[in-house]
Amino acid sequence: MFIRWHAHMSDPIWSLLVGALLIAMVLAGSALARIFLTSAMIYLGIGYVIGPAWLGLMAPDPGNHANLLEQVAEVALLISLFTVGLRMGVPIFDRRWMLSLRLAFISMSITVGLIAMVGAWGLGLSWGAAVLLGGILAPTDPVLASGVKTERGADPDSLRFSLAGEGALNDGTALPFVLLGLGLLDKHALGTHMLHWWSVDLLWSTVGGLAMGAALSSVIGRLIVHLRTRHQQALGLDEFVSLGIVAVTYGVAQLCHASGFLAVFAAGLALQRIKERPREGTTALNMPPNFSRHAYGVLATHSHHASAAMTHAVHGFNGQLERLAELTMVLLVGAMLPYATPWDVLGWFIPLLFVVIRPVAVFAGTLGEPIGLPQRAMIGWFGIRGIGSVFYLLFAMRLGVSGALAQQLLTLTLASVATSILIHGVTVRPLLRWYIRRIATQAPITPST
């Protein structure tokens, strides 16, 4: 286990420290906003302090605990992806999805290519290692983008919606590039003429994951709503509904060699889109927006409101899990930082990643989209790196990447994630205020459906 118990540290002391941290974050929430700090920045600092660099209370060595750390990162991503899917209320075939899709597929591919070229020509990596580095660092993060959250509902701000959609989708679309890099390193079978990679790792993984996640979630959700509204059964335990759908969709997708991350995201999207099937002779209740006027049992069994009540409860539960996932993973990232070794290339590689590669990929991938320069620039800047990159790093280490290459990837990944948490955390609020003031002076453009 990677928790190293200090000689004078007992279970009650650990309980006290964790409890004090949780309560302190509740009490300091509004104060952090005023001084341009984010919760992730605080967690990162605390993780570094309690890690091997200072107190040595935790020793999450990726070299010795890659499997366990990968599983923790995997769970954190699944929780966040499902929650983001539940939050995004824009219809599936709405024109506003196009920007997220272009960012997650086109800009993502360009980012991998640019990082791979820098890795091969600037860092001296083999092409396999360079492509793997691109796959690890290209995805943006849905967990840490807490300052740029999309609003739930049918008409969210396009900037926040596109960033949330991109962050959720590209955690799945990064997998084929990670597998391609591993294949070039002889750690994964690509097939003759890369046929397995094209057909299974790329096409089937993406399409199959989205389709299975949406289908399974729709079936399970409709079954629960039917039992509640027609038979007054399957009531309560909405937390089990949430965790059950995540586990089932992820498990089925993985067993079918499809993307489990895309399946879970699609499951969240599908669950909140289950339509009511009112019974004959019934009328809708007079409902306030916050579901507070009627008891849970009344809403959960009412044929006009059962699916909305279920989605509301599941979303609330997952929202709290997402915060705990952020706390856990960023603490671990902070504690893992001492395992990154000093490397002089970080002084130019990280600025290149955030100031050149990300903006170029965004501008190239969104050519032709009806968005203005300020929004393009904001999207180009907020390419927040986080848990997805950590997961794919640990995934590669579990599949056999080791030695000097593993250490190089570890250093580049942890340094990029920590830098992203800090610089994007500091800039998110002032830049969003500037952006909101700017668009408030312009006439809104409503995309056609």
* Cα 167–chain centre separation: 6
Stretch 418-435: mean pLDDT: 88
The whole-number pLDDT of residue 5 equals: 42
CA distance 69 to 61: 9
Q: Which of 134, 108, 109, 106 is nearest to 120 (CA)?
A: 134
pLDDT-derived band of residue 446, with 50, 70 and 90 as boundaries? very low
**Structural domain includes residue 271:** yes
**Structural domain includes residue 256:** yes
pLDDT tens-digit readout, 345-357: 999 999 999 999 9
Please tell me the total count of domains within the chain: 1
Residue in the block written with tokens 């360079």: 130
* Cα 180–chain centre separation: 22
Query: How far, CA to CA in Å, does 415 sit from each of 83, 109, 389, 408?
Result: 27, 22, 11, 11
Dig out the tokens for 1 from the structure: 């286990």
Could you tell me which residues are beta bridge partners of residue 88? Answer: 153
CA distance 114 to 109: 9
**Structural domain includes residue 184:** yes
259: left (phi over 0), alpha (psi -120 to 50) or beta: beta
Helices (H), 272-401: 296-301, 306-336, 346-351, 358-365, 373-381, 387-398
pLDDT over 50 (residue 448): no
**Structural domain includes residue 446:** no
pLDDT tens-digit readout, 252-291: 999 999 999 999 999 999 998 887 676 655 666 665 555 5
pLDDT tens-digit readout, 222-231: 998 888 888 7
Burial 17-50 (b: 16+ CB within 10 A, else e): eeeeeeeebeeeeeebeeeebbbbbbbbbbbbeb
Query: How far, CA to CA in Å, does 321 sit from each of 215, 373, 392?
Result: 24, 36, 21
In this prediction, what percent of the chain has a pLDDT beyond 70? 83
Length of the chain: 449
CA distance 255 to 263: 12
**Structural domain includes residue 5:** no
Please say whether the dihedral angle defined by the alpha carbons of residues 369, 372, 374 and 375, taken in this order, is positive or negative.
negative
pLDDT over 90 (residue 8): no
**Structural domain includes residue 4:** no
Rounded to 5°, angle at Cα 388 from 385 and 390: 85
Dig out the tokens for 188 from the structure: 């994964």
CA distance 172 to 194: 20
The whole-number pLDDT of residue 312 equals: 78
The whole-number pLDDT of residue 237 equals: 80
Q: What is the pTM of this model?
A: 0.89
Rounded to 5°, angle at Cα 385 from 116 and 447: 95
**Structural domain includes residue 307:** yes
Residue numbers of the domain that contains 284: 11-440
Residue in the block written with tokens 């600037």: 122
**Structural domain includes residue 449:** no
**Which CATH number fits the domain that encloses residue 330?**
1.20.1530.20
CB 338, CB 415: distance < 8 Å: no
**Total H helices, total E strands in the chain:** 19, 0
Q: What is the CA radius of gyration of the chain?
A: 22
CA distance 83 to 325: 12
DSSP result, 157-170: -HHHHHHHHHHHHH
Stretch 9-27: mean pLDDT: 71
The whole-number pLDDT of residue 87 equals: 86
Q: Which of 137-151, 157-171, 428-442 has the highest mean pLDDT?
A: 157-171
CB 16, CB 57: distance < 8 Å: no
Stretch 60-80: mean pLDDT: 93
